[in-house]
Structure 1
Amino acid sequence: MFVANESSIVERQQSLGRHYREAPGDAWITDHARALPDSHNDAIHGVVEPANNDGGFQPYGIHRAVGGDHDAPNPGDLLCSALAACLHSTLRLVAERLEITLIDSEVTATASADVRGALMVDMTVPVGFQRMHCDVRLEVPAETDQKTMKALMVGAEGCCVVFQTLKGGTKVTTDWRIDQL
């Protein structure tokens, strides 16, 4: 059971809000992760190292629909994980700010893609996920009013960085460094 704790996150966010109003440049953050081969002889497995993970690696594999074994989370699973984690944590933060008690909560994210474009089978099929969906389940006290719940839903979706990034799209750039040995 998650119960709002007014002295923790609300105070932290209010303090950060005051600071960012005075120093907007400090509000810029950069997250990162890097992916490496698990074995140089295996093209369908690797490891990803998220930032601030103290050197821990998360294995990943490739989906069977594009030739992998799907015996480990694939990049689409990791994308869904990022969306689910971001929306879930955001809804909990917004609930705390709105003083809504969440008895229980769960977010499931799914993504669907036609992989023919990725496999160059049909170049008219776009490469990428064509649909993503979040299923949010909440348990709240019976006396929680609908206006407050609507504020929670709008606030959670509106403040979720990953949700808004995916929904609106973002510019992605690539730098290639090639060492020829």
Structure 2
Amino acid sequence: MMTSVRELQAPLRDRYKGDPSAALVVDRAATADHDVTDPFHASVSAQGAANTMLVATHRGHGGPHDAATPGDLLCAALCACHELTLRMVANLMGLEIDTLEVRVEGDVDLRGSLGMGTAPVGFQAMRVQTKVSLRNGGPSEVARLMRTAEACCVVGQTLQAGVPVEHISP
């Protein structure tokens, strides 16, 4: 039996309509225990995750790149958010996904984070490549699904709009 996103979200939508402040959440991640003398690795724990993740420095920064880098995690966050949003929106629209594949790439000039000249720090561009086919819809339904999912993808919209980042030291 297929899970009904509409059925599960209905009480939440009613609650948020009556109390918009109830819709405001805080997502979290924190570093976890790891050898702080190792300049090329860290461990992070995301809220809700059962395990910590080992993160490595990119080989372009002199690191071993033997685990996902922070940039890889940013690409993974966008990839996961886009796919989950597509799945939920398809469910809400009564569309059955036959195949779904999402890939994310991001372009970075590493000179920026190495403090070399005027090269910018950060991703200069990201691409989300999506292949989706439906059991019960054609090109127009796929296009509508894609438009709606892109508009509702939290990570994608955050990256497009930018977000202030506040650094706090005790």
Deviations 1:57-87, CA, capped at 9 Å, x for gaps: 1101000111111000000011011000000
Structure-2 residue corresponding to 1:148: 141
Q: Secondary structure at the match of 1:52?
A: coil
Q: Is residue 20 of structure 2 the alignment partner of residue 24 of structure 1?
A: yes
Query: Higher helix fraction: Structure 1 or Structure 2?
Result: 2
CA distance in 1, matches of 2:115, 2:125: 20
Return the match for 2:126 from 129, 132, 154: 132
CA distance in 1, matches of 2:39, 2:130: 35
Structure-1 residue corresponding to 2:64: 69
Structure-2 residue corresponding to 1:45: 41
1:10 aligned partner, one-letter code? R
8 Å CA contact 1:20, 1:26 repeated in 2? yes
CA distance in 2, matches of 1:176, 1:115: 26
2:160 aligned partner, one-letter code? K
Between stretches 29-38 and 97-106, larger displacement belongs to: 29-38
Name the Cα RMSD after superposition.
Answer: 1.5
2:90 aligned partner, one-letter code? A
CA distance in 2, matches of 1:121, 1:22: 52
CA distance in 2, matches of 1:37, 1:89: 30
1:59 aligned partner, one-letter code? L
CA distance in 1, matches of 2:26, 2:13: 18
CA distance in 2, matches of 1:109, 1:90: 15
2:42 aligned partner, one-letter code? G
1:148 aligned partner, one-letter code? E
Deviations 1:106-141, CA, capped at 9 Å, x for gaps: 21111110011111111x111000011111111223
Which structure has the higher relative contact order (CA within 8 Å, separation 6+)?
1
Structure-2 residue corresponding to 1:168: 161
1:45 aligned partner, one-letter code? H
Give the Å deviation of 1:37.
5.9
Structure-1 residue corresponding to 2:88: 93
CA distance in 2, matches of 1:148, 1:23: 33
Paired-residue identity, %: 35
1:156 aligned partner, one-letter code? A
8 Å CA contact 2:75, 2:106 repeated in 1? yes
Question: What is the TM-score when the length of structure 2 is the normalising length?
Answer: 0.94
8 Å CA contact 2:4, 2:92 repeated in 1? no
Q: Which consecutive unaligned segments of at least 5 residues does structure 2 have?
A: none
8 Å CA contact 1:104, 1:139 repeated in 2? yes
8 Å CA contact 2:89, 2:149 repeated in 1? yes
8 Å CA contact 1:48, 1:60 repeated in 2? yes
Give the Å deviation of 1:12.
1.4
Question: What is the TM-score when the length of structure 1 is the normalising length?
Answer: 0.89
Instruction: Name the count of aligned residue pairs.
Output: 170
